[in-house]
Each structure stands twice: as C-alpha cells, then as structure tokens.
Structure 1
C-alpha cells in the first residue's frame, strides 16, 4: 500500500484511510468449489449443455457461410459513420475526463473537503460505473430523441465511473511531501492541488484517459442499435434486413477501426508514459503535440457531429424529466417474470465467465512472450486475442441469436467468446510480468516446457489470474444485463420493452435491480480479490 494511504489524512475533515485486509490462504479451494457448483446450477437454469452447444455450432457455421463473401454496398456512407463513431468516442471521453477531474478530488480521501462530500462523490462514481452504457443510451434516446448526442452523453456518463474512480485512486496514492511543502508557503487549497498533486498524478491520468478512448470506441460501435448514432445503426439495419454479407462487411470495417485504434493507443501510452532519459525535450514536445491534437480533435468533433455546445448543458432538464418518471419503481407489474429474468442475467454471467476462464488460460499462456514455445505460436495467439477483443459483445450476441434463436444460450455464447479474448490478454500480460528466476531454476535441472509451466509459471501467475477472473465476472454480469435488447436473454429485454411502451415505473424497478446486481457482484468480487491477493 502506498505511503499516502498509510499516513493520516492531510486534511482534518478527510475520511480515515482504509486498511488492507490480510489474505485468507484457505479461501481459494472454497472459491473453486463454489464456482463449479454455481456454474453447474446456472447452466441447468438456462438449459445450457454440451449437446446444445455442439448442435448450435452447425447453425453458426451455416450462418457464417451465408455471410460470405462480405461486401460494402455504400462505402462512402459506411466510412462517414465509422468516422462519426470515432469522434463520438473521443468527445465522450473528453467530456467524461473534464467532469471526472473535480469529482476525483472530492472522491479522494486525502483531498476531499469533507467526509460527506467524499461519500456523495464515491456514490455517484459507483452509480455511473454500475449502469451499463447501453442502458444510459436507451434512456437518453428516450429523453432527447434519436441522434448522436444521446450516444455521446451515454459514453461520457458511463466513463465517469471508470475515470472518476481511477483518477481518485491516483490522487490517494500521491506522496504527501510536495503538498506539505506547497502548503508551507501559505497558498490556498486550489493552488496546493494544482502545484503539488496534479504533477504527480498526470502520467497516470494520461494513461487512463488513452485507455478509456480505446474502450469507448468499442462501446460506440453498438450505440446505433438503440438509435444513439454511429456505425451500429448501419449494422443493425443490415441484420434486420437479413443482408448478412453487408453485415459482415460492416463488422470487418469495425474490426479494422478497433484494431487500428488499439495499436495507436498502445503507441501513445508508450510514448507519453515511458520518458526518454536521453531526450527529455522530445518527451515535452510529444506531450505538447498530443495535447494540441486532442484539443483540435475535440473541436472538430463538435463541428463534424454538429453538436451545439449549449446542448451539452441543456440535456439535463429533459433527461431528469424521464429519470424522475421512474420513481417510485413498480416491482409488481411484471411479477415473477422480473425476478426470473434477473436470475437468468446472473446465470448468463456465471456460465460465460466459467467458459471464458477455462478456454482463455491456454490461449493467454501461449500469448506470453516469455513462455510461448516459438514466435509463430506467440503471434497466432496474440492475433486471435486481438481479433476477438475487437468485436463487441452485442455484435456477437446478434450473430448467435440469428444462428441459435432467441434466449440465454445465445447470450452466454457471445459473452463466453468475448471473455476468452479479454481474459486471455490479462493472463498473457500477467505471465509476462512474472519473475524469470524460478523458470531458469527449473530449466537448469533439466525441466522441460511443461515442467517449467506447472512448477514456475502458473504458481506465480495464479494470484493475478484469480483477480482477473473475478474482474471478468464483474464485467460479464454488467454486460449480461443488456443482452436482452437483441433477444439474447436476461433482464435487458424487459428493460427495452418497458421503455418502448413508456412504462417508466417498471423501468425504474428494472434499473434498480440491475444496479443492485452489478453493485453486489462488484463488492463481492472486490472483497474476494482483497482476501486472495
């Protein structure tokens, strides 16, 4: 734990620091048994079995055959929508970052002006993180109408959940020395934050911001499914018309955009966050260029997307009018169907995460540079991970619904494949960061590849794998709440129907249930991680 968290708060009104709980060594076997039992029970509940999966593979292959060869009927329009999607991601992230900076100072224990302010700020951040971005998009579309602005606002509000939390965590990890030195000169609170805190957190904030643009680009490609702008609208139009070759062509465009953006994000993070000892001037120039490019892109986004800056403030009134109509929530209108759909949502998340864990670990190990048998295997594994991660879960859900029919099995398959790509990357990264000493020791006594793997690699990477798996479970529960929008099971279908039929009191009940499910899983997985690692 950092020194900033161990020391008493610098401000008298700040909340006391949180002490890290001691690990519980016996918790892992209990967790493993509980996970197996929960997976079997969840699979039984949604009628997901191996025979269903094998039969469904033939349907998926037939659907893919109908998609070939891919084609783009209107390249100009698709190109414009793709560019629009990219600008939406950038503008949504910029707006979220602007809102997250003051929020982070209020939500950090060592800079908050009062414990009550800290509690409110953290609660708002948690709410933004717990609510899926597509849920925000549906509500904003209902309040503001079909268009790009609801999509941008959905990306911005949901991004505050991540940026606000990580920005605040970075502030809590700052060293107190510079603040004390600045405070001794008699300056006020704001000068103290600007001169002593922001210089310490800026590298972390930049890395988080760039990573969030990458995430928002993936999110923005599906916002068109609910009328919130972007290339997702064209994809949905092709799928509704059963024009599968055109749909595959659009998916390939999305794939190229996301892969290119991810590679660009990796390069930008490496350039900005790994300073050169030999050329500090070059680093300053590159940061200046990046800042200028971001400002120009933001202004261009407002112009190209025809967003009136005033609308970035006037949206609050119509949105509050819709949101307040969800109070009080009506839990009785749907009866037992509401709770059955909520349980189905959790079951989809459990089964898909279990499949993702089992299949991602081998791929992740092969994608680790220090363990992979050879360069060919390494690049094939990394390419597979990149390709799978580039396709959003909702698009995968649409494909499986078209092949397997409506229901939770399609949603489970979609989330499972997405989990393989996401979790395999986390596994590969954790394996590449292990201590090479134990591996060399096993090799020195004649141990082969398998011996090195099971004796030196997996034991070191296991804590990180467990933590990543719990995080994946958290993400899948959040995502499974909206898969029903495309008929892939869970509570999302009831949510979409309640909004479409203007039963906002029912919507309020569903939103509250989604929040409770996601927040409970997040707290549970966080507690387990703190006791295992």
Structure 2
C-alpha cells in the first residue's frame, strides 16, 4: 500500500556511515570519496608539469604540421636518392652479417656470465650481508645508467677498431638490464626446495645450484633472448664509434652520402631484427609451455583391488616395482640406495640438443668477433692509462654549451615521449583483445606495433635528419615513432591484464564499447600505463643522447665531438650530466609508482 508523500518520514541526514536497507536494516555501505593526500596532490601536480613540459617542448622545437609539410619535398628527394637500393656483394654482405651476429651473441653471453653472480649478490634471499647487496645493486644501476656508446668509446681506446670493442661495450652495458631482471627472478622463487636442501645439510652453493638456478632457468633464458634483440639494434649505433659489422658499414655509407647502400644495409638490419624477434619469441613460448607442463599436477594413478589383498597401483612401472628386491631396513632409513636421475626421454634429449647448439653458437661467435685471451690481457694492461685519460672530468671551457645541449636533450625526450603517447594509446587500445570486438583486428594492430618496434631508432633518426635537416626536430620525431613500438606493446599488455569483472558488469548494464573502455578498463590500467610511460621517458633520455651521434641534436653531438678530438675528460663530464638526469627521472618514476600503487 502506498503512503502519501506528505505523510512519509523525512529523509535522514546524509552521513558517512552505512545507509539503512529495506525494513530499516543495515544496507550496503555507501562508497565515499577519499580525501586527496598531500602526496597525491603533489604527484598529480608533477604529472601536470611533465605533460606541460612535453607540450611546451613540442611547441619550442616546432613539431607541427607545417614542419612536416615543409619537409615533404625533402622526403621525396630522399626517396629518389635512395632508390634503387644498392646491396654490397653477397660475400661481403654475408661477412658483415655474420660479424654483427657474432658480436651481438658474444656480448649477450658475456652479460649473462657477469650478471648471474651480480644478481645472486643483489637478491635479498641469496645474499649474506647488506653491504654486498648494496654494492651489487649499485654496479647494476651504473651499468644501466651509463649510455652504451660511452662504453664503446672507452673500449675503442683500449681495444681499437673491431669486434672486441662491441663485445665489451654491449656486454658491460647489458649487465644493467640483465642483472636487474635476474635479481628480481631470484627473489621471486619458491623457497620450499631450498629449505628442503638446507634441512638436509646442503651448503649455500649447493642450495643455489640445486634449488635456485633450476627455478629461474626459464626466466634467465627468456631475458637473455630479449637482450639479444636489443643488442642487435644497439650494434647499429655502436658502428658509428668503431664497432665492426653492418653498423660500421652503414656509418661509412652515410659519411659518403651513399643513401642507396645505406638504406640497403638498414633494410638488412631491419630484417635481422624481425628474424631475431621471431626466433626468440618462439623459444620463449616453448619455454613457457614447458614450464606450464612441468607445473601441471599429474592425474592420480588408477587403483585396482586384487582379490584378498590391498589396492594395487596400475602403471607402466608396476612390474618393476613388483620385482624390485626389498631394501634392508638400514638402507631404507638412510634413504635410497642408489641415485635417482631423470629418464632419457624425448624432452631431455631435446633440451640437451638445444643446449649443445647454444654452446657451439656462442663459441663460434667468440671466434667470429675476434675475441682472444691475448687481446683481453692487452686490454687489461691498458686499462689504467685509459682511465687516466677520462679522469678528472672537465668541461673544456664549454660548460654553458653543455648545459644548453643537456636541456635540449631533455626537450627532445619529452617531446618524443608525448608523440609516442598520442600515437601509442589508440594503437595499444586497438591491439588489446578485451577492448576490440574482433581478434583479427587486435592481431593486425599487434603486428603494426611489432613492425614499428623492429625498426632501430638510429635508422629513423638518419631518415629524419635527411628529411628535416640536422637538429633536435629529427631526434624528437625519431623518438616519437620509436616510442610507439615500446609503449604501444606495454599499453596493450596493461589493458589486457585488467580484471574483466567491472567491464562485464558495465557492458551488461547497456553501456557501449567506448563507455566500457573509458569507465571500466582505462582507469584500472592507468597506474600501470603511467609506470610504462615514465619508463619510456627514461629510455628516451638515453636514446636522445645516442641520436646526437648522427646529428639529431642534443648533448650526444658534444659527446661524439669530444671523443673525436680526444677530449675524454669532457666525455666524462657529459656522462656524469646524463647520469644525473637519468637518475633524477628514475627516482621520480619510483616515487610516482609508490604514490599510485
């Protein structure tokens, strides 16, 4: 029966407590907005400043439609000058390709050898003391923060022109990434097997070999393959500072203004990157399947009851169990009388074959990269005098120029990250399977992102330098396009990892796909996307330094010029300036992730 409006009781005053439910009972708690904290307000203000800095940098560098239109004529002229492509003779091309692959494989193997003990020292669960862990973490951070071209310049002074320089430079720089990921993998292991070995009296080394390394082995291999892809792209950059292979041949072609050969070599590098991505991806998927198969619980064996007896297990080894002699009581108390080893099944034979092939490939790469014990010994002897050339740091009387170019490098990184964000957000959304309706559309956009990611940023910078001219505009455009490959993939992965429950609830309420995306998917993926965006900015600062090597503006140009005139004290100053900027951005990213966690 309805009650007249004038006789209904007045609505209770709005409180922060739980509202009454039907019949006066307690109802569902009302969702109230939490007050913004000072840290949250400061984080939001910081993000606004970064966004404004990206927009201001794009305006300051004149990254607009007019610049693109004005460069259209140069682009057409460049296409006319690079076609038809002129490839080197087949034998020479094969030699350069193998030299590049040998340098990259040997450098990745060196990074694995150096990173594994550092990771064990840097992980909390495998390190005895805090000072050792702090020292290992510091070495990993420094290896990651120093640009790889700086390692190449120093290695060139020690080892000269050739493959040894690339192996040492890329190997040392890769420790920054590989060591960190290895340490994270070690800290995430299941401690149960290690506790069992410790309880049985195993030493620390036995625990690591028997319980830690077997658990992290798939992650170690996957990280090494991922770093192999990165090093293949880095080898192009290092070719401009004396590392042999396709990168050095590309540098010589650019210096001769032979764009037909330069773009032909760039195409070969691009195809190698695609091939390496495909092979490493297939191996990582095979490792993931193998780990999944191992972790899948086995079905219980069927039991049959013998007449007048206890249940008997039916299996392939029933006859062996039946005929096995009974172990003496003393042997049973001490454990098995003989060591149990894995069976030689097809999986074990396959793993052994792949391991032997990998070892043979690394050995051949060491030979192909001209790595020799005598060369290493000569480099160790020359290390002291070479370090003396880099110390103490000096500005060379151009402190104002270095500061201005460092500011330009930051502008290039901010503008490039902004361009990458504007392009990567829609591409990443269209590549996420839970956003678009058609799986074919998601796969198509994933392929587009993969193709963009396969193009080395240095090649993009060379093209934009020719089209737009020398300066920061080329660097910003190159970083913007290059960021699409990295940020687009990370955005797509973040969107796909969102809990599907809220999106399904909003969709069931009659919302459109666009409304579901902006109300239930993007808000939940935004904290992770923000972390990826800051990581992209961190990467772009380092990349902006490297792109200056080919005339894309910024402090990288000063770095290369100082190395050419043998002012290595100025090189050290540039490195310290870039290192300080990178550490500031990384600290800012860590703080923002903690606030939004």
Match of 2:84 in 1: 69
Deviations 1:125-162 (A, max 9, x none): 11110012122112211222111110111110011111
Gaps of 5+ in 2: 1-36, 297-344
Match of 1:525 in 2: 589
> Map of 1:77-88 to 2, 5 A cutoff?
77-88=92-103
Q: Distance in 2 between matches of 1:246 and 1:379?
A: 34
Alignment RMSD (CA, Å): 2.4
Residue 272 of structure 1 contacts residue 287 of structure 1 at CA under 8 Å; is this kept in 2?
no
Deviations 1:331-379 (A, max 9, x none): 3521200111111111111111111011111111112233335355334
Residue 98 of structure 2 contacts residue 368 of structure 2 at CA under 8 Å; is this kept in 1?
no
Q: Distance in 2 between matches of 1:189 and 1:279?
A: 25
Residue 144 of structure 1 contacts residue 319 of structure 1 at CA under 8 Å; is this kept in 2?
no
- 1:274 is paired with a residue whose SS is helix
Pick one of 267, 274, 278 that aligns with 1:252: 267
Residue 128 of structure 1 contacts residue 160 of structure 1 at CA under 8 Å; is this kept in 2?
yes
Residue 88 of structure 1 contacts residue 151 of structure 1 at CA under 8 Å; is this kept in 2?
yes
Match of 1:274 in 2: 289
Q: Distance in 1 between matches of 2:436 and 2:75?
A: 31
Gaps of 5+ in 1: 1-21
Match of 1:225 in 2: 240
Residue 498 of structure 1 contacts residue 506 of structure 1 at CA under 8 Å; is this kept in 2?
yes
Identify which range, 337-346 or 37-46, moves more after superposition. 37-46
Deviations 1:173-211 (A, max 9, x none): 233333333223333321222223222222222221121
Deviations 1:19-67 (A, max 9, x none): xxx9965566434421222123333554544433442344334323432
Residue 333 of structure 1 contacts residue 506 of structure 1 at CA under 8 Å; is this kept in 2?
no
- Please say if 1:475 is aligned against 2:490: no
Identify which range, 119-128 or 382-391, moves more after superposition. 382-391
Pick one of 217, 220, 234 that aligns with 1:202: 217
> Map of 1:57-456 to 2, 5 A cutoff?
57-275=72-290, 277=293, 282-312=346-376, 314-331=378-395, 333-375=397-439, 377-456=441-520
Distance 1:40 1:120, change over 3 A: same
Q: Distance in 1 between matches of 2:196 and 2:48?
A: 53
Identify which range, 162-171 or 89-98, moves more after superposition. 162-171
Residue 23 of structure 1 contacts residue 532 of structure 1 at CA under 8 Å; is this kept in 2?
no
Return the offset for 1:250. 1.6
Return the offset for 1:284. 3.8
Q: Distance in 1 between matches of 2:390 and 2:569?
A: 4
Q: Does 1 or 2 have the higher relative contact order (CA < 8 Å, sep 6+)?
A: 1
Runs of 4+ that moved beyond 6 A: none
Q: What TM-score does the superposition give when structure 1 sets the normalisation length? A: 0.90
Q: Distance in 1 between matches of 2:550 and 2:591?
A: 33
Distance 1:142 1:193, change over 3 A: same
Return the offset for 1:283. 4.5
- 1:446 is paired with a residue whose SS is coil
Give the length in aligned residue pairs. 512
Residue 27 of structure 1 contacts residue 532 of structure 1 at CA under 8 Å; is this kept in 2?
no
Q: Distance in 1 between matches of 2:61 and 2:390?
A: 29
- 2:390 is paired with a residue whose SS is coil
Distance 1:188 1:380, change over 3 A: closer
Match of 2:335 in 1: none
- 1:325 is paired with a residue whose SS is helix
Distance 1:506 1:305, change over 3 A: closer
Q: Which has the larger radius of gyration?
A: 2
Distance 1:337 1:446, change over 3 A: same
Q: Distance in 2 between matches of 1:23 and 1:429?
A: 31
- 1:222 is paired with a residue whose SS is helix
Match of 1:12 in 2: none
Return the offset for 1:243. 2.2
Return the offset for 1:526. 2.1
Residue 106 of structure 2 contacts residue 369 of structure 2 at CA under 8 Å; is this kept in 1?
no
Distance 1:61 1:424, change over 3 A: farther
